[in-house]
């Protein structure tokens, strides 16, 4: 009998996160203050984020960072997550490739986001913070943060992208169930929100508008810190629990991946599964290929430029060196809400620039075709975000079919799609379409890049 699922015992869980910055030959460039244009240190960032997260953000020295005991205890509620051999998908594709996926959908919140939410709330609580704010797009991060805040006894205020709030009403219900206060963004409750609404009364909201509002609330409220679900280095660090587990689980399966794939919003689940394997490329001469799957409608990795840009629409955040489409980029309302962000994380941008990974862009319909095949073979309905990774994995498996290569493909299933059934309905009814953007569209928003 061939084994399908590989699971670690509690005492086999990794006890430290992997910090790839320590192993990078070219270190990431620093975040920069938008007004003074000086590099930012821990003290500057700690005005916004929990201090320990800022220390981790800028740590280019320590290869491994211990996971606090209290965070490990909470990880044990749902970790390890299974590594699964997708035999049924392989068979449907008639591919000689071995396809594995790491199933991050099997926790009460339904996505990988909880891995970092628990860490960020733990550090906030340790430092005497009482309130946390954040933004959320599709709602997975907000849901994870709402739960983590409750676990560690913090009050959470979440700004949710207005359009996503309308498309996915259940996600606000989940956040409110865990005790968070939820506001649609742009809103009239902040200066940033008012400015945006004044300029464009029908603005559907974006991660950029919601970040501006959450940061403003955090910086104008005592004992309140802002938390972020993606993009930043410390978020990717916390997510490496995914790849560190997968490394042990692949060894249980007696294999090592030739290709590692994840979908790409800001880069946290990609970094989470990729970095622990990439360390063997950097240190031990392995030649694994790393592929980040982004939507065709928001192609910062494949068609963006590497520049300093703001993380948010209003220009409140530090300037970050990243592959970006420009902070004023307004992506189409695709269903993979978690992938509608204009820029890529700093570490990933550097790795991409250095040729250590590559991006692929996936049209919306191809992602749903892939998600549908996955659901019908492996029995799991994937999040529309995760379907981009599945589509990229299928492309690789199809190539193996042509060449006869028995490659080992590992992808991250970042979440399930059970709260995204409206999207599946639209797909099944033939109402979904692709959104290819023109070079002129990209040129236009790139003109708004800060000059530095
Ligand atoms: C948020 C989210 C993503 C995208 O975020 P990354 O930081 O790029 O991982 C992908 N999949 C799911 C299910 C998400 O919730």
Measured on CA atoms in the order 170, 172, 173, 177, is the torsion positive or negative? positive
Residue 105 alpha carbon, nearest atom of ligand 1:
13
Does 359 contact ligand 1 (Cβ within 6 A)? no
* Residue 409 lies inside a defined structural domain of this protein: yes
The β-bridge partners of 185 are: 161
* Statement: residue 358 has pLDDT above 80: yes
Asked whether 103 lines ligand 1 (CB < 6 A), one says: no
Handedness of CA 266, 106, 91, 272 (dihedral sign): positive
* Whether the CB of 265 sits within 6 Å of ligand 1: yes
CA proximity to 325, closest of 367, 296, 351, 350: 296
Main-chain phi, psi angles of 255, to 5 degrees:
-135, 170
Q: Give the number of domains in the chain.
A: 1
Q: How far is the CA of 384 from the centre of ligand 1 (A)?
A: 10
Ligand 1 mean position to 414 CA, how many Å?
6
Cα 321 from Cα 343, distance rounded (Å):
9
Give the residue whose CA is nearest to atom 1 of ligand 1. Answer: 338
Tell whether 185 is covered by a domain.
no
Q: Does 267 contact ligand 1 (Cβ within 6 A)?
A: yes
DSSP string, 111-163: BTTHHHHHHHHHHHHHTT--EEEEEESSSHHHHHHHHHHHHTT-EEEEEEEHH
The string of DSSP letters for 171-227 reads HHHHHHHTT-EEEEES-TTSHHHHHHHHH-TT----HHHHHHHHHHHHHHSTTEEE-
* Residue 13 within any structural domain of the chain: no
| Binding site membership of 230 for ligand 1 (Cβ less than 6 Å) | yes
Measured distance CA(145)–CA(140) in Å, rounded: 9
Mutate to test the pocket of ligand 1, among 238, 269, 295 (most ligand atoms within 8 A of CB): 269
Quick one: pLDDT band at residue 452, thresholds 50, 70, 90?
confident
In a domain, 345, yes or no: yes
Predicted confidence (pLDDT) per residue in 198-248, tens digit: 999 999 988 878 988 999 999 999 999 999 999 999 999 999 999 999 999
317: domain CATH number is 3.40.50.1100
| Token pair belonging to 62 | 């320590």
Which residue, by CA, sits nearest to atom 8 of ligand 1? 265
In a domain, 341, yes or no: yes
Pocket flag, ligand 1, residue 386 (CB < 6 Å): yes
Backbone φ and ψ of 275, nearest 5°:
-55, -45
Residue 98 lies in a domain: yes
**Residue, of 1 and 443, whose pLDDT is higher:** 443
The reply to whether ligand 1 has any atom less than 6 angstroms from the CB of 269 is yes
Among 219-228, 280-289, 311-320, name the one with the lowest average pLDDT.
311-320
Domain around 312: 69-110+234-446
Which residue out of 228, 388, 414, 420 has the highest number of ligand 1 atoms within 8 Å of its CB and is therefore the one to mutate? Answer: 414
State mean pLDDT over 161-166. 88
Query: Residue 451: inside a domain, yes or no?
Result: no
Look at residue 387 and tell me whether its pLDDT is greater than 80: yes
Counting atoms of ligand 1 from 1, which one is nearest the CA of 272? 9
Exposed e or buried b for every residue in 382-396, given b needs 16+ CB within 10 A? bbbbbbbbbbbbbbb
* Measured CA distances, 277 to 350, 354, 410 (Å): 17, 17, 11
- Closest C-alpha residue for ligand 1 atom 3: 338
Token pair in block for residue 253: 């399966």
- How far apart are the C-alpha atoms of 113 and 138, rounded to whole Å? 12
Q: Which residues pair with 166 in a beta bridge?
A: none
Residue the block writes with tokens 């044990």: 76
Query: Does the C-beta of 385 come closer than 6 Å to ligand 1?
Result: yes
pLDDT of residue 269: 98
Which residue matches tokens 């986001």?
113
Q: Which residues contact 413 (CB under 8 A, 6 or more apart)?
A: 101, 102, 103, 104, 105, 380, 382, 386, 389, 390
- Atom 10 of ligand 1, residue of closest alpha carbon: 385
Q: What percentage of the chain reaches a pLDDT higher than 70? A: 100
Spatial CB neighbours of 316, under 8 Å, sequence gap ≥ 6:
192, 211, 212, 215, 216, 310
Instruction: Please enumerate in sequence order all residues whose Cβ is within 8 A of that of 84, keeping only pairs 6 or more positions apart, or say none.
Output: 4, 5, 6, 100, 101, 102, 103, 378
Ligand 1 centroid distance, CA of 247 (Å)? 21
Taking Cα atoms as reference points, which of 409, 107, 378 lies closest to residue 255? 409
* Residue 145 located in a structural domain: no
Using a 6 Å cutoff on CB, does residue 382 contact ligand 1? no
- Find the 142 Cα to ligand 1 centroid distance in Å: 12
Q: Is 412 in the pocket of ligand 1 (CB under 6 A)?
A: no
| Cα–Cα distance measured from residue 267 to residue 28, given in angstroms and rounded to the nearest whole number | 15
> Could you tell me the pLDDT band of residue 57, with boundaries at 50, 70 and 90?
very high
105 pocket-lining for ligand 1 (C-beta < 6 Å): no
pTM of the model: 0.96
* Higher-pLDDT residue of 135, 340: 135
**Ligand 1 atom 2: the closest Cα is on which residue?**
338
pLDDT band per the 50, 70, 90 thresholds, residue 94: very high
pLDDT at 61 over 90: yes
pLDDT digits (tens, 9 = 90+) for 167-184: 788 999 999 999 999 999
pLDDT at 187: 97
8 in ligand 1 pocket by Cβ < 6 Å? no
């Amino acid at each position: 009998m061939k084994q399908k699922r590989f699971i670690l015992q509690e005492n086999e869980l990794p006890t430290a996160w992997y910090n790839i910055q320590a192993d990078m030959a070219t270190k990431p460039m620093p975040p920069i203050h938008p007004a003074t244009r000086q590099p930012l240190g821990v003290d500057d960032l700690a005005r916004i984020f929990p201090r320990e997260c800022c220390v981790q953000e800028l740590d280019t020295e320590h290869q491994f960072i211990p996971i606090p005991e209290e965070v490990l205890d909470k990880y044990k509620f749902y970790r390890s997550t299974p590594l699964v051999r997708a035999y049924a998908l392989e068979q449907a594709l008639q591919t000689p490739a071995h396809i594995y996926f790491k199933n991050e959908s099997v926790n009460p919140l339904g996505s990988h986001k909880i891995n970092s939410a628990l860490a960020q709330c733990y550090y906030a609580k340790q430092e005497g913070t009482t309130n946390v704010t954040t933004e959320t797009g599709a709602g997975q991060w907000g849901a994870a943060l709402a739960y983590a805040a409750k676990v560690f006894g913090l009050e959470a205020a979440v700004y949710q992208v207005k359009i996503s709030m309308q498309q996915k009403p259940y996600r606000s219900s989940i956040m409110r169930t865990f005790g968070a206060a939820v506001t649609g963004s742009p809103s009239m409750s902040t200066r940033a929100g008012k400015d945006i609404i004044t300029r464009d009364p029908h603005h559907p909201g974006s991660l950029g508008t919601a970040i501006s509002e959450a940061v403003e609330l955090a910086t104008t409220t005592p004992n309140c810190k802002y938390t972020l679900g993606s993009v930043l280095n410390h978020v990717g660090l916390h997510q490496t629990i995914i790849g560190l587990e997968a490394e042990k689980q692949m060894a249980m399966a007696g294999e090592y991946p030739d290709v590692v794939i994840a979908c790409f919003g800001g880069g946290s689940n990609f970094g989470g599964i990729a970095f622990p394997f990439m360390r063997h490329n950097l240190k031990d001469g392995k030649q694994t290929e790393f592929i980040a799957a982004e939507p065709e409608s928001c192609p910062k990795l494949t068609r963006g430029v590497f520049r300093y840009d703001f993380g948010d629409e209003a220009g409140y955040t530090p300037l970050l060196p990243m592959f970006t489409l420009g902070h004023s980029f307004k992506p189409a309302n695709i269903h993979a809400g978690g992938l509608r962000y204009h820029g890529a994380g700093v570490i990933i941008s550097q790795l991409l620039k250095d040729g250590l990974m590559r991006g692929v862009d996936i049209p919306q319909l191809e992602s749903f075709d892939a998600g549908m095949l996955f659901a019908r073979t492996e029995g799991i309905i994937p999040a529309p975000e995760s379907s981009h990774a599945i589509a990229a994995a299928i492309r690789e498996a199809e190539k193996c079919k042509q060449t006869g290569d028995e490659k080992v493909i590992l992808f991250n299933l970042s979440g399930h799609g059970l709260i995204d059934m409206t999207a599946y309905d639209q797909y099944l009814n033939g109402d979904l379409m692709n959104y290819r953007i023109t070079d002129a569209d990209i040129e236009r928003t790139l003109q708004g890049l800060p000059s530095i």
